[in-house]
Structure 1
Amino acid sequence: MDSQPAVVITGGASGIGFAVARQQLALGVAVCLLDLSSEKLSEACRELGIADENGQVCDITQEASVESAIWDFSARHMLGGLVNCAGIGMDCLMAETDVDAFRKILDINVIGTFITSRTLVRYWLDKKLPGAIVNISSVSGLCGNKGRSAYGASKAGQNALTWVMGNELGSHDIRVNAVAPGPVDTPLAQAMHTSEVREQWHARVPMKRYGTPEEIASVVAFLLSQESRYVNGQVLAVDGGFINAGLFR
């Protein structure tokens, strides 16, 4: 077994998850990727220069799938961190939102985060190891963005889960924090954001631009590291100032 702590990253084959993986590797940290797409996983492992066995196809909404992948990783690595990046979004007015679509978003964004986190927490408690979890939330879980009834509710739930886990697990030297990105140029945003939506974000973000996956990954790296060893139960907006902006000049 590799004695160097590894970080498990859900949704690690693309977007913010992939950027987190690349930055962790640059810092000398091993990475284990979970994703639904075997094709994207193979491509990500190849691009990152890691063994294919460090990428596992996994449905984070299924306990058995998550547990199988984590136990496989733990047989080869000492696991030290978890980044919950996997998620889906939707831009739809509340009155037009389908109930099944709402449930699916909650299932992936909230239940999936719970299942992967619980699996790693049980591993750390059993081994009496420290750990760090970073949940990738959203500013839509902190304010009432239009069209985000399902997505915003899921991210607010993820934030509450962060606070509760940080409270319950801090005494075990397991820290839990969240990063709440504003608009970030990821495949998900590129698929969801029309030119009109992009103009609205540019108008409302004081820095007048979208963030990059690498900028989110840098904050995740801090929250995983020992430099943040007294930071616990926090939801940190990384949004160019959007969440706190008032009237513009």
Structure 2
Amino acid sequence: MTTYLAEPVVFGEQPLSIENINVLSQRRAQVLLQDDAAYREMIAKGPRFLDTLLDKEGVIYGVTTGYGDSCVVAVPLHQVEALPRHLYTFHGCGLGQLLDEASTRAVLAARLQSLCQGVSGVRVELLERLRAFLEHDVLPLIPEEGSVGASGDLTPLSYVAATLSGEREVLFKGEHRSAAEVHAELGWTPLVLRPKEALALMNGTAVMTALACLAFSRAEYLLKLATRIT
């Protein structure tokens, strides 16, 4: 059983601090998700709204259209369910070394907190699975080199989306293993991402934010050290 040195970190409507992200990156705090009925209803409104638009055959960017400059390309309704998988598959082209464990935990925490604001159209089940990844230390293997900036950390975050879906590889209990195998060991069913969910996971700056939080912590330490030395 893990012994935590800090107070639990609750993901939900309230903001997190840089210190929260850094504590989680070192596995020093339990990870909780806001669980009151009002909060869950707020999260559920997003997917319901998307379903309403789809029922009306409305045009929804990244759901019934392509992405970026391809937004003028319509996606037939019978292919809408397949679009999320194609999105994270297309971006799975990272290179270089893998992010270290602390950085990967920070990425998961930053992405979870962003989605917890209830404006991304994702299900509470996706939030719970991200929380479970942190709690059980299931870490997607994310290459350091890939698209970062502008419209989001698309390539590195595709590895988060894919592993939530039981694809690609994760670090679990010190070993590189297939995400599908780890899901089975933990008794989880891999998520089948709904329309908009892959876009919500990938089109953000969670990697930049996470690495900036860790960099801030190192800079703060060096500042204190330099002050004491002088």
TM-score normalised to structure 1 length: 0.23
Structure with bigger RCO (C-alpha 8 Å, 6+ apart): 2
Q: Which one has the largest radius of gyration?
A: 2
Which structure's residues are more often strand, by fraction?
1
TM-score normalised to structure 2 length: 0.24
